[in-house]
Amino acid sequence: MELSENALVVLQKRYFKRDDKGNCTEDWSQMVSRIATNISGGDQGKYKRYYELIDSGLFLPNSPTLMNAGSDLQQLSACFVLPVDDSMEGIFDSIKNAALIHKSGGGTGFSFSRLREANARVRSTNGISSGPITFLRVFNAATDAVKQGGTRRGANMAILNVDHPQILEFIKAKEDNRELNNFNISVGITEGFMNAVHDDAEYDLISPYSGERVNRLKARDVFNLIVEMAHKNGEPGIIFLDRINQFNPTPHLGKIESTNPCGEQPLLPFEACNLGSINLSSLVKDKAVDFELFRNVIRESVDFLDDVIDRSRFPLPEIAAMARANRKIGLGIMGWADLLFLLGIPYNSEKAVGLGEELMEFLDYESKYRSMELAKQKGSFPNFKGSIYEKGGLKRTVKNLDWDKLNREISTNGIRNATTTTIAPTGTISMIANTSGGIEPQFSLVYVKNVMDGEKLLYINPHFEKSVRKAGLYDAALMEQISELGSIQQLPALPAALKQVFVTAHDISPQWHVKMQSAFQKYTDNAVSKTINFHRSATKDDIRMAYELAYESGCKGVTVYRDGSRENQVLNVGNKMKEELNGTRIAPRQRPEITTGVTRRVETGCGHLYVTINSDSNGPCEVFTQIGKVGGCASAQLEAIARLTSLCLRSNVKVRSIIKQLQGIRCPSPMWSNGTMVTSCADSLAKTLETFLKIQPDKDKDIARINAESSRITRQGNLNTHIGSCPDCGGFIEHSEGCLKCQICGWTKC
């Protein structure tokens, strides 16, 4: 596979093995050889097949397999669910077990629904319970202390059933964006609750401890609160638990209570699942999908993922037992948006939805057919008896393939894996494959990467660039304009046919997002990780519509994100200020005769820098700078930056937006200042502005208190990781597949 520049950055930073000094000791072919050697288990025929499978870029396994196969760790699964029992011992056992999983590079899901409500009696101590929300914060703090295998932070999912007595507190648990930042949260929704919402009826809240009704709530009020919070900042999501358990392949082992962090992998307590994705954009031949190649890749991928189970060293003996008894795998896809570009099909069209169903049905059918053949060779998964396969087979809506025949084959021969299909976030692996993530649309066709010495490089979607060049319309200025707008829909220079095909996430209505998720869910054993993107102007009714449509169309859960709905915007494509005030451009407010403020000294590579930030009655309004070395280019540039920053402040530009533009700019002489790296004078201004936001000086604060507060903040290190840009490289981050993802270096947070 030909590696892009971004792919090489990701591989070197996160996947290639390193020596004790931190130097890479692998290249691409050596990494692929390491993985193929390990997973093939010494079988030379399999080694060759697995090497070619990965090296081609047609398939990539989940990150733990890429990182850990052939290493001392040998933990190859990404997804885990742990039980949280209603006892102090059970709670802290789960915290310990989660730490072991995070250390090995995995993510964990929990249901807190078994925990008795706050203030319920604890018989053993004659005291009262703290309740699930308090313990959720303990889990979050524990995750902060563990670095995942030296590569990524621990990711968690917390689920609380909608009938838990503390459901209202849970729904609002992340109203403050600074809370529970190691958790995604979702409400476990039941059929009974949705029926009560439809009928505008009340429903019961049930104590997990006593099993008795402790309260009744109006279902529609609770649903509206979920919508309100999701509109505010994207959380909580919702998980349709009854629907998930309707497709639970092993109901005799218990109910599924939770999912992995991104929601696409429902699992029983102590279950694990290893995932992998096929690159659809590499399957095109003569402007059509090559189904024979697709079939071969599916079969090879199932073999690979099944062998991963046998090669994996699981972090807990209980997980090893469950994983090998059910042998769940999750084969999915990436490159869907790029495939549609190649075929000239708009994402927001019935043709695209129909093709999605066709491809996913083919993947689901062929993966199970191969799993059935493996069962003939090696035996069914041990918990096959009592599974849905033994009780009449897997029910699927017949579209193109003979599911009845497959069910008869499975009844006779068994099946090797309890599940075979999942649409997972593809994060960094789609960057390695240089394709779009999962089933998401492209977020932007063109984006800007800042490199050394302030140079900016344009990254253009290769399929879009090829089409524009073919039409004779390529122009560098036009590409820069697209990077600002994030879309081509408002550009008169481009033809309608091009605009119709090359749509991005915000060009597509939420209804089409949901319809696409539903199309893939129909033929997916587990679930689909996807973000339903909304414009900033979306209303609560728009969010409600998406939730209701997701339920009605058969989705197992849904995650929404309204652009700009968090204090620190996840991704801003385009920096143009909107024209407001009846179509006129914004004018800066007048500076009052007297302002008040603070001055801070920062050590920079150019000398002592003094930054003064003054406020008027509306907030910060101006910035002054004075550098120790008077005169010269540095002073002139700093004065220009300060004047432009002041202009922005008086034009009501958010301070955090200014910080985002200035932070991380590098000069040849970076400098440590009070324990923090200052990469340039502009960066020092960003850091001072961030400190100013923390201090919020006013007439009631004297200088001594301000200095004390500033020192305390400095000692804490960097002042809040600003999620508007990547904390690793400063690149832009998009919100997709239920995760945050840097397009430059591959940093992810789920």
User: Do residues 452 and 666 touch, judged by C-beta distance below 8 A?
Assistant: yes
Answer positive or negative: Cα dihedral of 387, 391, 395, 401. positive
Q: Which domains does the chain have, with CATH numbers?
A: 5-73+276-413 (3.20.70.20), 79-258 (3.20.70.20), 597-715 (no CATH), 725-750 (no CATH)
Average pLDDT, the chain: 87
By DSSP bridging, strand 607-616 and strand 619-627 are: antiparallel
Q: One-letter amino acid identity for 692?
A: F
**What Å distances lie between residue 610 and 155, 606, 630, 664, CA to CA?**
40, 12, 12, 19
Examine the residue annotation and report whether 52 is marked as an active-site residue of this protein: no
pLDDT band at 718; cut points 50, 70, 90 = very low
β-pair type (748-749, 739-742)? antiparallel
Catalytic residue among 38, 260, 326, 348: 260
pLDDT of residue 701: 44
- Identify whether 580 is a catalytic site residue: no
Q: Identify which has the larger pLDDT, 433 or 616.
A: 433
Per-residue pLDDT reduced to its tens digit, 556-604: 999 999 988 874 433 344 443 333 333 445 567 777 767 777 787 877 7
Higher pLDDT, 621 or 729: 621
Q: What confidence tier does 696 reach under pLDDT thresholds 50, 70, 90? A: low
What pLDDT shows up at residue 750?
A: 67
Angle at 105 between CA 101 and CA 110, to 5 degrees: 45
Other CB atoms closer than 10 Å to residue 567's CB: what's the count?
15
Question: Contact, 534 vs 561, CB < 8 A?
Answer: yes
**Tens of pLDDT, residues 107-130:** 999 999 999 999 888 876 677 888
pLDDT bin (cut points 50, 70, 90) of residue 149 is: very low
Task: Name the 3-class secondary structure at 218.
Answer: strand
CB 171 within 8 A of CB 226: yes
350 flagged as catalytic: no
DSSP letters along 180-210, please?
STTEEEEEEE-HHHHHHHHHT-EEEEE-TTT
In whole angstroms, give the CA distance from residue 530 to residue 513. Answer: 9
Which residues are CB-neighbours of 17 under 8 A, at least 6 positions away?
Answer: 24, 25, 26, 31, 34, 71
- Average pLDDT, stretch 252-261? 96
Q: Which range (45-49, 141-145, 152-156) has the least confidence?
A: 152-156
Of 262, 555, 648, 729, the active-site residue reads 262
Could you tell me what percent of the chain has a pLDDT over 70? Answer: 86
Mean pLDDT throughout 309-325? 97
pLDDT band at 632 (very low <50, low <70, confident <90, very high): low
Residue 737, Cα to own-chain centre: how many angstroms? 5
> How confident is the model at residue 648, as a pLDDT?
87
pLDDT at position 178, please?
82
Say yes or no to pLDDT of 310 above 70.
Answer: yes
| Interval 361-368 mean pLDDT | 97
| Catalytic residue (one of 235, 264, 622, 690) | 264
Rounded to a whole number of angstroms, the CA Rg of the chain reads 27
For residue 699, name the pLDDT band (cuts at 50, 70, 90): very low
Say how far residue 96 (Cα) sits from the centre of its chain: 24
Tokens of 375: 């069962």
- 690 contact partners, CB below 8 Å, separation of at least 6: 659, 663, 719, 720, 722
Mean per-residue pLDDT, 234-262: 96
Comparing 600 with 221, the larger pLDDT belongs to: 221
DSSP, res 441: P
State yes or no: pLDDT of 92 exceeds 70. Answer: yes
Helix (H, G, I), strand (E, B) or coil at 354: helix
Helices (H), 346-502: 350-378, 403-413, 427-432, 462-470, 476-485, 496-501
For residue range 263-305, list pLDDT tens digits in order.
999 999 999 999 999 999 999 999 999 999 999 999 999 999 9
3-state helix, strand, coil in the chain (%, to 5): 40, 20, 40
What are the pLDDT digits (tens) for 6-20? Answer: 899 899 989 999 999
Q: What is residue 673's DSSP assignment?
A: E
- Contact residues for 709 (Cβ-Cβ < 8 A; gap 6+): 694, 695
Q: For residue 137, what pLDDT is reported?
A: 95
CA distance 192 to 179: 30
